[in-house]
Amino acid sequence: MSLVLDPAAQDLLFREAHTANTFTDEPVTEEQVRAIYDLVKYGPTAFNQTPLRVTLVRSPEARERLVRHMAEGNRPKTATAPLVAILSADNEFHEELPALFPAFPAAKDAFFAERPVRERSAALNSALQAAYFIVGVRAAGLAAGPMTGFDFEGVRKEFLDDDHTPLMVVNIGRPGPDASYPRSPRLAYEDVITTV
C-alpha cells in the first residue's frame, strides 16, 4: 500500500526480474536501446555529471574480440546474447560539466580539476547510472546479465582509451530457457536499515 508504482511494474522491474544467463535470438533494436537511454538518463548523478558511457557491441567481429577478454564462465552467454553493452566511466566528464550543470558552471574547475578526484567521482556516479540502465532494460521488457568477470585492462585497451574505465559488460535480450538461477536470499530490512 505504501508504494505508488503499479504492482505489475514493481514485478517487472524488481520482484519477477532476474539476471539472465541465456537468451532467445530475438534481436534488441536500436529503437529499444534509445527508449531505454531516454528513460534512464534522468537518474540523478552528482552535479549532473552523468559519466556513464555505453559501447554497443553489435558486429560479430567485435563480439569475438570481447568474448576473448571474458572470464571462462561468462563466454558462452556473451557470445550468444542478442546484444552486449560495455559500460564505462568517462574520467573526463568535467569537460561537459558547464553545459550539464548550468546552475554552477565553475564546478568544472572548482571541484574536478584533478584527475584522481574525477576518477573517484566517475566511479561512483557511473555505477549509479549502470544500475539505472539495468532497471531501464527491464522496463523495456528485456533482461540484463551484468558481468564484472572479465579482463578490465584488456577490454579497456581493446575498446576504450586511457580516459575511460570499464565498469561492467551487460548481456541484453529476452530470457531463454533456464535463463536464471533460483532467487538467492536478500538481507532483511533489520539487517540493513538502522535509524539513529
Interface contacts to ligand FMN, rule CB under 6 A: 18-19, 74, 146-149, 168, 180-181, 183-184
CB of 132 to ligand FMN, least distance (A): 13
CB of 133 to ligand FMN, least distance (A): 11
Q: One-letter amino acid identity for 156?
A: R
Please, which residue, 47 or 150, has the CB nearer to ligand FMN?
150
Residues 6+ apart with CB under 8 A from 4: none
Distance CA 173, CA 58 (A): 13
Measured in degrees and rounded to the nearest 5, phi and psi for residue 169 equal -110, 135
Q: Nearest residue to ligand FMN, using CB?
A: 149
| Cβ distance to ligand FMN smaller for residue 98 or 154 | 154
Contact criterion met (CB below 8 Å) for 170 and 87: yes
Minimum gap (Å) between residue 131 Cβ and ligand FMN: 8
Instruction: Give the number of other CB atoms < 10 A from CB of residue 47.
Output: 18
> Cα–Cα distance between 141 and 157 in angstroms, integer?
33
Q: Cβ of residue 50: shortest distance to ligand FMN, in angstroms?
A: 19
Q: Determine the Cα–Cα distance for residues 154 and 66; give it in Å rounded to an integer.
A: 9
94 vs 165 by CB, closer to ligand FMN: 165
d(CA 25, CA 146): 18
Q: How far is the CB of 75 from ligand FMN (least distance, A)?
A: 10
Q: 21 or 45, CB closer to ligand FMN? A: 21
**186 vs 191 by CB, closer to ligand FMN:** 186
